[in-house]
Chain A
Amino acid sequence: MAQLDSKIPSGPLADKWRKHKVESKLVNPANKRKYEILVVGAGLAGSSAAATLAELGYKVKCFVFHDSPRRAHSISAQGGINAAKNYQNDGDSVYRLFYDTIKGGDYRSREANVHRLAEVSVNIIDQCAAQGVPFAREYGGLLANRSFGGAQVSRTFYARGQTGQQLLLGAYSALSRMIGAGGVELFSNEEMSDLVVINGHAKGIITRNLNTGQIRRWSGDAVILATGGYGNVYNLSTYARQSNATAIWRAYKRGACFANPCFTQIHPTCIPVSGDYQSKLTLMSESLRNDGRIWVPKRKEDCKKDPGTIAEDDRDYYLERMYPSFGNLAPRDISSRAAKRVCDEGRGVGETGLGVYLDFSDAINRLGENVVRERYGNLFDIYHEITNENGYKTPMRIYPAMHYTMGGLWVDYNLMSNVPGLYVLGEANFSDHGANRLGASALMQGLADGYFVIPNTIGDYLAGQKPGSRPPADAPEFKQAEDNVRSIISRLLSVPGKEPVSHYHKRLGQIMWTYCGMARTKEGLEKALQEIPKLREEFWANVKVPGSEATLNQSLERACRVADFFELGELLCLDALTREESCGSHFREEYQYPNGECKRDDEKFAHAAAWEYQGEGKPPLRNIEPLNYESVKMSVRNYK
């Protein structure tokens, strides 16, 4: 059974981080260059970590499967990044950001981590502004803000609708500087395929070069995974097509616990599905809800009518009606479920009936089209490109889609997993967002982890490792891991099958979305848990992977990733089945209040569930980390 020591420092909440930094062991400057740290991933979390650790003097090797660090999925984040700067003087504070995040996560995150996140949020904005991130400004030259869901203050910093791009390019520039200076060695097109654990410690990785097929071993003193989320297990999602779970999944199979896999976020405002060829879903940033109003017709009969002809009185602005104080800025889980509910009632719009309107006519009347264009122009452009419709003239149609994963590898306060020497940052870990993430908080967490947390916590582990003690890459554990990777690849290539990988990914996605999407039930999840293994068997018997392993082979890449999604999908459903309560994004129909809100069971489930792999074919073990709230009182979330 895994040891889950969260290592939360003692003392008052607001002093924990400062105290912890003082008490952590340090590595002396002359010794730092003797340690080699393997950083996998260079999204916001990975590039900020790699750059900062190299600045401190550690030797860093950074691996990405992309052809450049600048292509990481973080690049597509649109809306913004939160920070408790209180530049607007609207009552914000570190405590309020902390509290909003805990409440937004429906009391399923770790208090101490979230408080630290809120504390360092202010440093992130300073750091990014100094790097030249072109944040939006007011006329006086100071930074501008907007609001995001789940908050009643304006604390979101942004760069048009391309905040993720600009923050990533900032972190990428810091990384590039350290690559140029020789502090970081970068390996692009290099996909981590296994973790090497020696005497219980993470001491290396195995990679496959996606251009040449070459498989290589890398030894290090510590391994950092910053490989992003696993939402593509649903096939259709707002993630980039190549985002995958292989790094964390293979680490799970080497002993790292996987926490709360069923906490997956469905974003309320995405462009609806248009056909079965669909390869991805596109997000319309939550920031649009600052000025857009969401509605459906009150009567089913009106659903196919031109929206412009539906009278004001015949429209149901359902979020404003149900949640008057947060209105269109209700948190994501709540807004998504509300959209599902009105569509299930037969009041959805568009060809498929799976859509609701996001209407800017009020904002355009109030502010003028130019102001709306200035604020969201690129989002209207994206909408137009995809749907061929003009959002300034007719309301946009949107529908919820898979967007983010709060679950991930379990980590302690130092961001170390239960495998010593293995750290997990950014979306890949489970730590800060509980059962539901608030908008503009993922970018904050990624950069907090990379710039400010890991540089202060990794020394504590490394100080206990003798410099130069990392094992040679010819240790038997390396060979065993390499053989494992080779055998997965050759098995996939040798299946005498007929169907392309996409066929299975789609079908897996349909099972996940149907039974483990916005609303979940015991029966549905049990059904999914029967169907997934059956489909997985079919995949391994009938998938067709053309080409060879010795060249660039995109079918093989995808097959490896989908093979892992099959296993992860099953764990996700098992976690959802076992968590017999509703909280945040995890909505079990059996557990709800008469008004349809989530009914938590704090007595039985105020904990993180950290699943531990037990070997092929054996059920995983469910460990728990109890969540103790010292400062905040757990209560029923109320956004009315």
Chain B
Amino acid sequence: MVAESSTKTISVTLRVWRQAGPSQPGKFVEYQAKNLNPNMSFLEMLDVVNDELTVKGEEPIAFAHDCREGICGTCSLVIDGKPHGPHRAVASCQTYVRSFADGAVITVEPFRAKPFPVIKDLITERSALDKIQQAGGFISVRTGAAPDANSIPVAKDVAELAMDAAQCIGCGACVAACKNASAMLFVAAKVSHLGLLPQGQVERGRRVLAMVRKMDELGFGSCTNQYECSAACPKLVSHDFIARMNRDYISALVHETFAPASPTMSGGA
């Protein structure tokens, strides 16, 4: 029982952003993708187009991908104006040809955000997200120093909520979807994941201050509560976490301002 549509093929026109390098100008170029099996993934369609280009002696379209099952966060296409394409709760690699009408013209672009410069064609540089993690996205626990795991009980609903936040795949679609290129959802996911758990309490204030400051320093914009971010998130990480982070941030700021200076409040690792 293969999906019904599998017998009928689909042909589409792709308008793809081509840009040879970081400082080169880019432009849209049209390609025809013909007689596609609807059960093919969007990236498999690009594979086929690329093989055809290669045979013709042209350079294939560079696009980022790896796991092709929605978990590594590498794929990062804007399809018809939407980060990760038309469907909710999936990454670009989980988008299938069957979602498009025969004869459709599909525009494919890279994530567009100032902190994510284009490296080539559809590939952008997203290491800014790693830098935010390095500023404080962790619980400081040296290897070997941990107590027995069951000595720190965590209520099931708290663990589940922490897991909802922890699911973030770090793709940056939230940034690409936000008109201000804010990384608030990304940061809020990590801050909430760790801040919800008992293990994360000691560094809670320091963590949120350090991560938010790093985010600002790296040129991400601010949040104006449009919630395009959570709508584009392939894991549907909720914008409620942003509100949670804002509360943490304010209370940490108050604490930092009025509490006596202590080295643990200085942020960073």
Q: Which of A's residues lie within 8 Å of B, judged by CB?
A: 48, 51-52, 55, 66-71, 73, 75-76, 85, 87, 123, 125-132, 134-143, 159-160, 162, 165-166, 169, 172-174, 176-181, 186, 188, 211, 240-242, 274-275, 277-280, 282, 306, 350-351, 381-382, 385-389, 394, 397, 451-452, 455, 498-500, 502-503, 544, 546-547, 551-552, 554-555
Partner of A350, one of B1, B47, B64, B148: B1
Could you name 11 residue pairs across A and B whose Cβ atoms are closer than 8 Å?
A48-B143, A126-B146, A132-B193, A138-B156, A141-B156, A180-B269, A277-B37, A277-B48, A385-B70, A546-B60, A555-B60
- Give chain B residues whose Cβ lies under 8 Å from the Cβ of A546: 53-54, 57-60
Task: Assess the A502–B149 pair: CB atoms within 8 A.
Answer: no
- Give chain B residues whose Cβ lies under 8 Å from the Cβ of A160: 163
Task: Assess the A137–B154 pair: CB atoms within 8 A.
Answer: yes
Task: Assess the B170–A68 pair: CB atoms within 8 A.
Answer: yes
Min C-beta distance of A252 to chain B, whole Å: 24
Does residue B72 face the partner (Cβ distance < 8 Å to A)?
A: yes
- Which chain A residue lies CB-closest to B166? A134
- Give chain A residues whose Cβ lies under 8 Å from the Cβ of B45: 277
Partner of B162, one of A134, A179, A552: A134
Task: Assess the A127–B143 pair: CB atoms within 8 A.
Answer: yes
Task: Assess the B144–A131 pair: CB atoms within 8 A.
Answer: no
Does residue B199 face the partner (Cβ distance < 8 Å to A)?
A: yes
- Which chain A residue lies CB-closest to B57? A546
Partner of A502, one of B51, B65, B145: B51
Chain B positions 165-181 with a Cβ under 8 Å from a chain A Cβ = 166-167, 169-170
Chain B positions 113-142 with a Cβ under 8 Å from a chain A Cβ = 119-120, 123, 125-127, 129-130, 133-142
Given contacts A173-B137, A381-B89, 9 further A-B contacts (CB under 8 A): A73-B67, A75-B67, A126-B146, A129-B152, A129-B199, A130-B139, A173-B133, A173-B138, A277-B45
Partner of A130, one of B58, B147, B156, B269: B147
Q: With A and B bound together, what is the CA distance between A306 and B1 in angstroms?
A: 8
- Which chain A residue lies CB-closest to B20? A551
Q: With A and B bound together, what is the CA distance between A347 and B125 in angstroms?
A: 49
Q: With A and B bound together, what is the CA distance between A140 and B43 in angstroms?
A: 44
Task: Assess the B64–A67 pair: CB atoms within 8 A.
Answer: yes
Count of interface residues, chain B, beta-carbon cutoff 8 Å? 88
Task: Assess the A385–B72 pair: CB atoms within 8 A.
Answer: no
Partner of B65, one of A241, A306, A500: A241
Main secondary structure of the interface of B (DSSP, over half): loop
Q: With A and B bound together, what is the CA distance between A640 and B30 in angstroms?
A: 59
Chain B 178-190 near chain A by CB (<8 Å), digits 1 or 0: 0000000000000
Does residue B159 face the partner (Cβ distance < 8 Å to A)?
A: yes
Task: Assess the B47–A176 pair: CB atoms within 8 A.
Answer: no
Does residue B81 face the partner (Cβ distance < 8 Å to A)?
A: no
Does residue B2 face the partner (Cβ distance < 8 Å to A)?
A: yes
- Which chain A residue lies CB-closest to B2? A351
- Give chain A residues whose Cβ lies under 8 Å from the Cβ of B135: 180
- Give chain B residues whose Cβ lies under 8 Å from the Cβ of A172: 133
- Give chain B residues whose Cβ lies under 8 Å from the Cβ of A241: 65-68
Q: With A and B bound together, what is the CA distance between A87 and B149 in angstroms?
A: 10
- Which chain B residue lies CB-closest to A550? B21
- Give chain B residues whose Cβ lies under 8 Å from the Cβ of A382: 69-70, 94
Partner of B153, one of A141, A178, A188, A397: A141
- Give chain A residues whose Cβ lies under 8 Å from the Cβ of B98: 388
Task: Assess the B156–A137 pair: CB atoms within 8 A.
Answer: yes
Partner of A132, one of B44, B64, B197: B197
Task: Assess the A500–B59 pair: CB atoms within 8 A.
Answer: no
Say yes or no: A180-B268 contact (C-beta < 8 A), given A277-B40, A388-B39, A502-B47: yes
- Give chain B residues whose Cβ lies under 8 Å from the Cβ of A282: 68-69
Min C-beta distance of A143 to chain B, whole Å: 6
Min C-beta distance of A453 to chain B, whole Å: 11
Q: With A and B bound together, what is the CA distance between A490 and B48 in angstroms?
A: 25
Say yes or no: A169-B1 contact (C-beta < 8 A), given A66-B74, A552-B62, A552-B119: no
- Which chain A residue lies CB-closest to B149? A129
Task: Assess the B60–A134 pair: CB atoms within 8 A.
Answer: no
- Which chain A residue lies CB-closest to B156? A137
- Give chain B residues whose Cβ lies under 8 Å from the Cβ of A499: 55
Min C-beta distance of B178 to chain A, whole Å: 20
Does residue B73 face the partner (Cβ distance < 8 Å to A)?
A: yes
Min C-beta distance of B172 to chain A, whole Å: 10
Does residue B100 face the partner (Cβ distance < 8 Å to A)?
A: no
Does residue B229 face the partner (Cβ distance < 8 Å to A)?
A: no
Does residue B237 face the partner (Cβ distance < 8 Å to A)?
A: no
Say yes or no: A176-B133 contact (C-beta < 8 A), given A67-B74, A387-B3: yes
Task: Assess the B138–A176 pair: CB atoms within 8 A.
Answer: yes
Min C-beta distance of B13 to chain A, whole Å: 19
- Give chain A residues whose Cβ lies under 8 Å from the Cβ of B68: 240-241, 279-280, 282
- Give chain A residues whose Cβ lies under 8 Å from the Cβ of B71: 75-76, 162, 165
> Which of B37, B98, B167 gathers most chain A CB within 10 Å?
B167
Min C-beta distance of B233 to chain A, whole Å: 14
Task: Assess the A552–B41 pair: CB atoms within 8 A.
Answer: no
Min C-beta distance of B256 to chain A, whole Å: 19
Min C-beta distance of A52 to chain B, whole Å: 4
- Which chain B residue lies CB-closest to A184? B134
Does residue B231 face the partner (Cβ distance < 8 Å to A)?
A: no
Q: With A and B bound together, what is the CA distance between A17 and B68 in angstroms?
A: 40
- Which chain A residue lies CB-closest to B40? A277
Task: Assess the A166–B166 pair: CB atoms within 8 A.
Answer: yes
Min C-beta distance of B127 to chain A, whole Å: 6
- Give chain B residues whose Cβ lies under 8 Å from the Cβ of A176: 130, 133-134, 137-138
Q: With A and B bound together, what is the CA distance between A499 and B43 in angstroms?
A: 20
Min C-beta distance of A74 to chain B, whole Å: 10
Say yes or no: A544-B55 contact (C-beta < 8 A), given A125-B149, A280-B68: yes
Task: Assess the B153–A500 pair: CB atoms within 8 A.
Answer: no
Task: Assess the A389–B199 pair: CB atoms within 8 A.
Answer: no
Task: Assess the B126–A139 pair: CB atoms within 8 A.
Answer: no
Task: Assess the A173–B139 pair: CB atoms within 8 A.
Answer: yes
- Which chain B residue lies CB-closest to A307? B1
Chain B positions 1-30 with a Cβ under 8 Å from a chain A Cβ = 1-6, 20-21
Does residue B90 face the partner (Cβ distance < 8 Å to A)?
A: yes
- Give chain B residues whose Cβ lies under 8 Å from the Cβ of A169: 166
Partner of A555, one of B40, B54, B123: B54
- Which chain B residue lies CB-closest to A272? B2
Chain B positions 185-222 with a Cβ under 8 Å from a chain A Cβ = 193-194, 197, 199-200
Task: Assess the B50–A500 pair: CB atoms within 8 A.
Answer: yes
- Give chain A residues whose Cβ lies under 8 Å from the Cβ of B51: 500, 502-503
Task: Assess the B153–A127 pair: CB atoms within 8 A.
Answer: no
- Which chain B residue lies CB-closest to A72? B72
Task: Assess the B269–A55 pair: CB atoms within 8 A.
Answer: no
Does residue B257 face the partner (Cβ distance < 8 Å to A)?
A: no
- Give chain A residues whose Cβ lies under 8 Å from the Cβ of B143: 48, 51-52, 55, 127, 174, 451-452, 455
- Give chain A residues whose Cβ lies under 8 Å from the Cβ of B261: none
Q: With A and B bound together, what is the CA distance between A535 and B162 in angstroms?
A: 51
> Which of B59, B67, B146 gathers most chain A CB within 10 Å?
B67
Partner of A279, one of B1, B41, B58: B41
Min C-beta distance of B29 to chain A, whole Å: 15
- Give chain A residues whose Cβ lies under 8 Å from the Cβ of B74: 66-67, 71
- Give chain B residues whose Cβ lies under 8 Å from the Cβ of A242: 66
Task: Assess the B149–A389 pair: CB atoms within 8 A.
Answer: no
Min C-beta distance of A322 to chain B, whole Å: 26
- Give chain B residues whose Cβ lies under 8 Å from the Cβ of A451: 143-144
Task: Assess the A136–B159 pair: CB atoms within 8 A.
Answer: yes
- Give chain B residues whose Cβ lies under 8 Å from the Cβ of A55: 142-143
Partner of A76, one of B37, B44, B59, B72: B72
Min C-beta distance of A114 to chain B, whole Å: 21
Q: With A and B bound together, what is the CA distance between A48 and B59 in angstroms?
A: 38
Chain B positions 66-103 with a Cβ under 8 Å from a chain A Cβ = 66-74, 89-90, 94, 96, 98
Task: Assess the B159–A66 pair: CB atoms within 8 A.
Answer: no
Does residue B259 face the partner (Cβ distance < 8 Å to A)?
A: no
- Which chain B residue lies CB-closest to A157? B149
Task: Assess the B138–A174 pair: CB atoms within 8 A.
Answer: yes
